[in-house]
Amino acid sequence: MVNSAKYDRQDALAKATNLFWEKGFHATSMRNIQDAVDMRPGSIYACFGSKEGLFKEALHHYADGTLAVIRQQMQSHDSPLDALKSFVRCLITDQRQDVPSDLCMLVKTLAELTEDNAELLTEARQLIRLVEDAFAELLQQAIDAGELDADKDARRLARLIQMQVMGLRSYARANKDQAQLEQLIDDALSCLA
Amino acid sequence: MVNSAKYDRQDALAKATNLFWEKGFHATSMRNIQDAVDMRPGSIYACFGSKEGLFKEALHHYADGTLAVIRQQMQSHDSPLDALKSFVRCLITDQRQDVPSDLCMLVKTLAELTEDNAELLTEARQLIRLVEDAFAELLQQAIDAGELDADKDARRLARLIQMQVMGLRSYARANKDQAQLEQLIDDALSCLA
DNA sequence: GTTGAAAATGAACGGTCGTTCAAGATAAAA
DNA sequence: TTTTATCTTGAACGACCGTTCATTTTCAAC
């Protein structure tokens, strides 16, 4: 090896992800990213190829983080159902001041982009599907453990939870009343027996 | 009056609204709008002031349309509950090919914009609140008519419905399976006794 | 100390952005 | 027919967009 990169690729990706997560794809300029990651255009393009390429990696980085949080909740709760509920609550209510946006970056992406960026749309859809899979796995564990009625359908319930999480986070962006949000979470989670 | 405008302001606003609804605020350029409404920049700026001003009017135009659909459902159903359910179903499943986007334009706006456009954000939040008010009114009618238990809270239920509608439409953008969507709507509406 | 391949730089490119405004077109009033 | 206030036009503005690439810097290998 003659020479190696001076920047930390993962660190740069993390910073770019937060910027995209906050401002969205179109409102984030490559110059914003240059400033945030302290790299010059040539290095960024050598490393990530294009704005779309960087955004695609950012989507994956974000999804990895989300799945990691789910796994972490699974480890710190004996009950799969408690893990799921804790995850949902932690998305909406917990210390959410240092987070770039109230919303899921994947849902933001689905909302913002059109078929003009078909590849990114497809990517976001696939990653959302992975999160739903994680929900389904957790719910199946709950059924197997007898925490949910055996006649419940884990996949169907996972879709319901996924939908409600999307709704809750969108709603939280419109209405900041914490008490009403807590109540809303309770109402939403009441579908879990 | 010495001279009067040659263009149809309402028609131009409707066309601009559809464009913004489809592509969002940032991805819609003033040149896109010039083409869509067949007006030159000078006329557009004389008429609407700025891109932000035009978008603000578009948000109102969109919300007016949504509220009109709700009223229309109220008139064509004797049961307030049926009217509400029909409205929700008509948002997600019905002949949605001529519509600019699966998503509510107000929710898209909340998702896309940041505090950089604080005024537009505030506007979208207020208009969403109006829709929630319409839901609450409908639900109160249902309670008064005995269609819902008298101990139900119309406002609380309205927040739940609003949240679920946001969730359903977001989910519909990620997963196009119609059968699963129908099932999801049933599950969501099951909170209405 | 010299070499040379890889990495980093940043000026610059063509294009598009939102917006302005002087000049031309229009039509009711005189 | 002339006047005149208003509406319409579209070239042009400065700023910023995503991206490129010739140049300079770096540093392991010899």
DSSP state of A2: -
Tokens representing residue A136 in the block: 């389904």
pLDDT at A93: 78
Closest-CA residue in chain B for A27? B26
d(CA A37, CA A187): 41
Give residues with Cβ within 8 angstroms of B132, minimum separation 6: B158, B159, B162
Nucleotides of D under 7 A from a protein CB: 4-12, 16-22, 26-29
d(CA A39, CA A9): 11
pLDDT at B93: 78
Give every residue of chain A whose pLDDT is below 70, as ranges.
Answer: 1-3, 5-6, 94-95
Question: Residue A144 carries which side chain, given as an amino acid letter?
Answer: D
Instruction: Give tens-digit pLDDT for A91-106.
Output: 987 567 789 999 999 9
Tokens representing residue B64 in the block: 């007016």
How big, in percent rounded to 5, are the helix, strand and coil portions of chain A?
75, 0, 25
pLDDT at B193: 73
pLDDT at A98: 86
B6 versus A190: the higher-pLDDT residue is A190
d(CA A178, CA A97): 14
DSSP state of A147: S
d(CA B80, CA A16): 48
Percent of chain B clearing pLDDT 70 (strictly above) = 96
Q: Which residue is nearest to nucleotide C29 (CA to C1')?
A: B2
Number of helices (H), then strands (E), belonging to chain B: the values are 9, 0
Instruction: Give tens-digit pLDDT for B58-101.
Output: 999 999 999 999 999 999 999 999 999 999 999 987 567 789 99
d(CA B12, CA B19): 11
Tokens representing residue A144 in the block: 């197997």
The whole-number Å distance from B130's CA to D2's C1' is 54
d(CA B115, CA A163): 26
Question: Residue A89 carries which side chain, given as an amino acid letter?
Answer: R
Sign of the alpha-carbon torsion through B174, B89, B109, B154: negative
Q: Is the pLDDT of residue B1 over 60?
A: no
Number of helices (H), then strands (E), belonging to chain A: the values are 9, 0
- Least Cα distance to A76 among A92, A90, A61 occurs for A90
pLDDT at B8: 87
Tokens representing residue B131 in the block: 């829709």
pLDDT at B95: 60
**CB contacts, 8 Å: A112 with chain B:** 24, 26-27, 108, 111-112
Tokens representing residue B175 in the block: 């997963």
Residues of chain A with a CB closer than 8 angstroms to some CB in chain B: 22-24, 26-27, 103, 107-108, 110-112, 114, 116, 124-125, 128-129, 156, 159-160, 162-168, 170-171, 173-175, 180, 183-184, 187-188, 191
Return the residue in A88, A125, A164 with the most chain B beta carbons within 10 A, the one to mutate for interface testing. Answer: A164
Q: From its phi and psi, is residue B24 left (phi > 0), alpha (psi between -120 and 50) or beta?
A: left
Reported confidence tier of residue B7, pLDDT bands at 50, 70, 90? confident
Sign of the alpha-carbon torsion through A150, A151, A155, A158: negative
d(CA B23, CA B15): 13
Reported confidence tier of residue B149, pLDDT bands at 50, 70, 90? very high
- Spatial contact of A117 and A37, defined as CB atoms under 8 Å apart: no
pLDDT at A97: 75
Q: Is the pLDDT of residue B130 over 90?
A: yes
Please state the pTM of the whole predicted model: 0.94
Q: CB-CB: which of B22, B128, B174 is closest to A174?
A: B128
Q: Is the pLDDT of residue B4 over 80?
A: no
Q: Is the pLDDT of residue B51 over 90?
A: yes
Reported confidence tier of residue B105, pLDDT bands at 50, 70, 90? very high
- Spatial contact of A189 and A88, defined as CB atoms under 8 Å apart: yes
